[in-house]
Amino acid sequence: MIDSPNTSPGTISIISTPIGNLKDITARALEALAQADIVAAEDTRRTSNLLTVHNLHKKLVSCHIYNEHKSVFSLIESALSGQKVAFVSDAGTPCISDPGFLLVREALKSGIEPQIIPGVSSLTFAVVASGLPVDKFSFLGFLPVKQGRRHKALLEIAEEDKTVFVFESPFRMEKLLKEIAEVIGKDAKVAVIREATKLHEEILRGTAEELVQKTSGRNWKGECVVAIYPGEKQDMTTEHTDDTEKE
């Protein structure tokens, strides 16, 4: 925890930014960026393009997974000295499989309540676009790469009674669809949301088996969110009761 100096605290804003279409940014997000003394970005080049489109010129500092532990404390010191700090990830909402959690945690420890400025998220886009039941759902981020842990994660998804959302690299999409069909079931319902809000946005829906056949040999490109609905689970309690009554 950082000791607060005798100056008035500044602010730390956690800001959602577009995931593709640069028009997908809120008026409040633009206002916070315009007022910021420092904009901390996961990728300063990408954020610089966003700021330029909206005619904003700000001091940019880097804050990504490789320097996050060091840069977070510098950002908090800036806020405690009275500056307005804005944080953005590459795209979408920080903390959702992106940097941001450490900054939020350490800000709270230092007595700063971060201002959360919501907006676009590839996850919420996929939840709406999937066409699958989402009265309740799970989000697992990226599945493990190592085969044993990955297989275990898929087995756990197979036992779910709700839609599960995961992120996946285009280099593993063909493999993932085959794994879903083999481990979770060929009739599991799947939706693949690719390049959301971008020029080549695409949504594929069907059973695992249908999508395996439809996309066989495909050269996958772009960012993908995969929705998996294992299907309704059989009520074993009812089945057992019925059998007992028959006896």
Instruction: Give the chain's end-to-end CA distance (angstroms, integer).
Output: 67
Of 132, 103, 148, 73, which is closest to residue 13 (Cα–Cα)?
A: 103
**Residue 32 and residue 112 in one domain:** yes
Mind listing the pLDDT tens digit for each residue in 101-144? 999 999 999 999 999 999 999 999 999 999 999 999 999 999 99
Instruction: Report the CATH number that the domain containing residue 26 is assigned in CATH.
Output: 3.40.1010.10
* pTM score, whole prediction: 0.85
Helices 101-109 + 68-80 axis angle, to 10: 40
Residues 6+ apart with CB under 8 A from 156: none
Query: What's the angle, vertex CA 43, arms to CA 37 and CA 46, rounded to 5?
Result: 90
Q: Does residue 78 lie within any of the structural domains?
A: yes
Retrieve residue 198's tokens: 């971008």
Residue 175 belongs to some domain of the structure: yes
Q: Residue 235: inside a domain, yes or no?
A: no
Q: Which domain holds residue 191?
A: 122-229
**Within 10 A of 34 (CB to CB), how many other CB atoms are there?**
14
Task: Select from 96, 117, 138 the last residue of a domain.
Answer: 117
Greatest alpha-carbon span in the chain: 79
Residue 92 included in any domain? yes
In a shared domain, residues 94 and 183:
no
Q: CATH number of the domain that 214 lies in?
A: 3.30.950.10
Rounded Cα distance, 84 and 43, in Å: 19
- For residue 236, what pLDDT is reported? 33
Tens-binned pLDDT, residue by residue, of the chain (247 aa): 455 444 557 999 999 999 999 999 999 999 999 999 999 999 999 999 999 999 999 999 999 988 888 899 999 999 999 999 999 999 999 999 999 999 999 999 999 999 999 999 999 999 999 999 999 999 999 999 999 999 999 999 999 999 999 999 999 999 999 999 999 999 999 999 999 999 999 999 999 999 999 999 999 999 999 999 998 654 333 333 344 443 3
Query: How does DSSP classify residue 181?
Result: I
Q: Count of domains in the chain?
A: 2
Of the candidates 149, 225, 158, the residue with the CA atom closest to the CA atom of residue 188 = 158
